[in-house]
Amino acid sequence: MTLAVITGPSRGIGRATALALAERGIDLALLGRPSAALAETVRLAAERGVSAIPVDCELANPAELERAAERVLDGAVPDLLVNNAAVIRRAPIEQTSLQAWNEQLDVNLRAPFLLTRALLPAMRRAGRGRIINVGSISSTLGTAGAAAYCASKWGLVGLTKSLAEELSDSGLMTVAILPGSVDTRMLEGSGFAPRISADDVARTIVFHCLDAPLAHNGGVVEMFAT
């Protein structure tokens, strides 16, 4: 059995990734806030013949993250962790509240750190595991009105690169996937036209989950447009 933990599976890239992994026979622990959309992902994944378990988790809440990780580990050691969920609150810096700054850093950067820290020891003991962090092309540039989001995404690449050093020769690996403008709800209101489908990003994530050699450890994959 291969088990993948995915955050943000209710829609967009997270749902596309969940279903693409299900197509490959991977069981799923779907971490997210309870919703009809999340239940629909569970249904669609189960339809593909895998076990798909929703695990309630508000990613901004460290205690909930810890409980969610424990729940996953009570069932099985995951082989894959896809840190996909993120939030963007668009505003110029002068109008960015501390609450909005913290929310974006907490969900987009702290949650991947906490989830990795919670699951990694068991993955190391198992001698296998892949951690895929979904950054953004905003991990490589600045965007007006998105300073907190950009800072979180640059930070996620720093986390990935440092983790890769710590995973050297361990049999585990981590990569960051940096999509450009993807046709999902997050892009709405951004002023950017969609250039990439969620399915294309999912295919790239699945490649790094299941097929890419360990030599990709520490890799950063930029995706621009078709």
Ligand X SMILES: NC(=O)c1ccc[n+]([C@@H]2O[C@H](COP(=O)([O-])OP(=O)(O)OC[C@H]3O[C@@H](n4cnc5c(N)ncnc54)[C@H](OP(=O)(O)O)[C@@H]3O)[C@@H](O)[C@H]2O)c1
* Residues in contact with ligand X by the rule CB under 6 A: 8, 10-14, 32-33, 35, 37, 58-60, 84-87, 107, 134, 136, 179, 181-182, 184-187
Q: Which CB atom, from 123 or from 177, has the smaller least distance to ligand X?
A: 177
The residue (of 16 and 167) whose beta carbon lies closer to ligand X is 16
Q: Return the number of the residue (99 or 127) whose C-beta is nearest ligand X.
A: 99
Q: Which is nearer to ligand X, 26 or 115 (CB)?
A: 115
What is the closest distance, in whole angstroms, from the C-beta atom of residue 215 to ligand X in the complex?
Answer: 24
Backbone angles phi, psi at 178, to 5 degrees: -120, 90
61: CB partners within 8 A, 6+ apart: none
Least spacing, CB of residue 130 vs ligand X, in Å: 17
Smallest gap from Cβ 213 to ligand X, in A, equals 24
Q: What single DSSP character describes residue 182?
A: B
59 is catalytic: no
Taking the C-alpha atoms of residue 119 and residue 62, their distance in angstroms, rounded to an integer, is 14
Q: Are 186 and 213 spatial neighbours (Cβ–Cβ below 8 Å)?
A: no
Least CB distance to ligand X at residue 126 (A): 26
Q: Which of 50, 149, 163, 184 is catalytic?
A: 149
Distance CA 6, CA 206 (A): 12
CA neighbor of 194 nearest in space, from 224, 222, 220: 224
Which residues are within 8 A (CB) of 169 and not within 5 positions of it... i.e. 6 or more apart? Answer: none
- Cα separation, 161 vs 179, in Å, equals 17
Closest residue to ligand X in the complex (CB)? 12
Catalytic sites, residue numbers: 149
